[in-house]
Amino acid sequence: MRVATGLLKVLVPVAVLGVVLVRFGTDPFLDGVRTAALSSAALAAAAAALLLTALSTLCAAWRWQVVSRELGASIRLRDAVAAYYRSQLLNATLPFGIAGDVHRGVVHGRETDDTVRGLRTVAWERLAGQAVCAVVAAAVLVAAPSPLREAAGSALGVTAVVLGVVLVAALAVVALLPGHWRTILATDVRDVVRRPSRTVQVVVASVLAFCGHVAVLLVAVRLAAPEVSVTTVLPAALFVLLAASVPTSLAGWGPREGAAAWAFGAGGLSASQGVEISVVYGLLALLATAPGVVVLLLDARGRIRASTPQLTGAADA
């Protein structure tokens, strides 16, 4: 079962990328790389992406800190920010898009002497964030007048069905869990939502973090299609980010490009422009995780120091 799931997570994004390449060719991908690397405005866009992602990371780390505290695995905000940068870098460079979160949960669990609890804090934190982002994006897509809203009727219906199936499957899995695990999950939910102030903090942090990612995508729109009003393509940008959050990708690539081709095409741009914007966003988002490299290097340095024998007193021998 695990092998089949792993293969599916690889084959789906490969299939999506294959369809996009067959339909639009390599030009949108090459145009996106040229725009992000060679454009005179690329440096300003990269700086904006770094700043906006830093704000998003701070908010997401704050959300994780709140959830961790309620689940009895407190973490300092500065440590949460560093761990979040590391996880974002790993998510952006490794398949499936969740390797960094798993690593973050394992490391936090080891630091608090409870690996399972550390993984639970990350799982609940990400689930809360995704739920809030989905609600915000859906509200904007329904309320904001745009060509995408008319074109998205059938897509939203399919999405609702898929989400319903996922929810039923998740409930079925929970029902099959041993009794003590169901108790743990129920206790986790109670602990996180029992204080309204904590719930508000999680929601606010999630909205702010999501807005930061949306802003980075709009920077990519401005860079790749400067003649387009960002407010016009905002609904399409929200749809693309929701697709990009699906943990079935090749280091973030796959569903995002397919969703961008459809959403931006339906939202007033050409589908090939949508792919180009998605490529530019992917490169900006990858660059914005650069501080995670520093965290990984510091981790490696700490491990080397810890494993190096101390030769104190050797000079006196």
Mean pLDDT of the chain: 78
pLDDT at 192 over 80: no
Which run of H or E residues covers position 204?
A: helix 196-224
Is the model's pTM score more than 0.85?
Answer: no
DSSP state of 145: -
Domain that holds residue 111: 2-291
Tokens of 264: 């931006």
8 A C-beta contact, residue 253 and residue 282: yes
Assess if residue 308 is contained within a domain: no
Q: Report the C-alpha gap between 210 and 234 in whole angstroms.
A: 13
Assess if residue 255 is contained within a domain: yes
**How many domains are there within the chain?**
1
Least confident range from 122-131, 276-285, 295-304, 306-315: namely 306-315
pLDDT band at 35 (very low <50, low <70, confident <90, very high): low
Assess if residue 275 is contained within a domain: yes
Assess if residue 314 is contained within a domain: no
Length of the chain: 317
What is the DSSP code string of 209-273?
A: HHHHHHHHHHHHHHHH-TTS-HHHHHHHHHHHHHHHTSS-SBTTBSHHHHHHHHHHHHTTS-HHH
CB-based burial, 13-38: b 16+ in 10 Å, e otherwise: beebbeebeeebeeebbebbeebbee
Report pLDDT digits (tens) over 123-177.
Answer: 889 988 888 888 888 888 777 777 776 665 555 555 565 556 556 656 665 566 6
Assess if residue 313 is contained within a domain: no
Assess if residue 301 is contained within a domain: no
Assess if residue 29 is contained within a domain: yes
Assess if residue 71 is contained within a domain: yes
Residue 39: its pLDDT value, please?
60
Distance of CA 19 to CAs 10, 90, 197, Å?
A: 15, 26, 46
Tokens of 202: 């999680």
> Once rounded to an integer, what is the mean pLDDT over residues 74-97?
90
- Give percent of the chain with pLDDT exceeding 70: 68
pLDDT at 28 over 70: no
